[in-house]
Amino acid sequence: MAKGEGRATGRNTVSGKMLQGFIERLERLAEEKKQITEDEKAVMAEMKAAGFSPKIVRLVIKRRAAKPADLEELEAELDMYLNALGMTTEAPLFRAVGMMNVDLAAREQVIDAFLQLVPMEGEIIVKVGKQPVRLWRDAKGKAHAEDIEDAPAPVVAPRPTPAARPPREVPDVDEAGAFELGQAAYHANEPITSNPFAWDDKRRPKFDAGWREASGSDGMGPET
């Protein structure tokens, strides 16, 4: 068979021409994208020379492209985060209430003002004086307010103290017996760490030696 014979795609085949068409279109798009990028850089440079900040302009473009609801949600969350970090002078909801010319000392006026700020199917918890108030809006858009009664603190049962682990039983054998116990442990499919003797017990190394002798290894796992 001649070299190249039998290939599914070639320069003169239908599939080869189709592939070449796709590649050439992508190459043209890449060239257009490169030109657009260069044009954007030129506009940014011209704008910066005119005294405008490219960084701020990019933010403006991003905000203009955002949906109004998404933008409002983003600003509300940003206000909450900044307020939680102490980076704002007052909470955003209280700032909005302050703009309504509400007497903050009058409980009913404060509640009425916050009722206007409750989101659809959402809720706000406001503490006016000593009594917290729950404000929410139902599916039909009607706002409601109700006092929240403090629930009694749940009684937490003390956690039982875990029982102490019973000490491991040490067999009453001599060093030869410890050696035999090690062999028996291996044959019982127990690891070498099942050695029941303390670290300073002379029988401990005998147990290990018996286990290794029965296994034909050093007890550190299979050799690689």
> Residue 100: inside a domain, yes or no?
no
- Whole-model pTM: value is 0.34
Q: Is residue 57 part of a domain?
A: yes
Is residue 20 included in any domain, yes or no?
yes
Supply the pLDDT for residue 206.
94
Q: Consecutive 10-residue runs of the chain (224 residues): their mean pLDDT?
A: 50 78 91 93 92 90 82 79 71 55 59 68 68 74 73 64 67 94 90 87 93 72 44
- Does 89 reside within a domain? no
Q: Indicate the number of domains in the chain.
A: 2
Residue ending a domain, among 39, 64, 89, is 64
pLDDT at 41: 93
CA distance 27 to 67: 33
| pLDDT for 98 | 53
Structural domain includes residue 110: no
For residue 71, count other CB atoms closer than 10 A to its CB.
Answer: 14
- The answer to whether position 199 is within a domain reads yes
Distance CA 18, CA 125 (A): 64
Pairwise CA distance, residues 125 & 147, whole Å:
10
pLDDT of residue 222: 47
* Nearest-5° Cα angle at 167, 161 to 171: 165
* Strands, E assignment, the chain: 123-128, 131-137, 143-147
Which residues constitute the domain of residue 180? 175-215
195 is a domain residue: yes
Domain-located, residue 36: yes
pLDDT at 223: 44
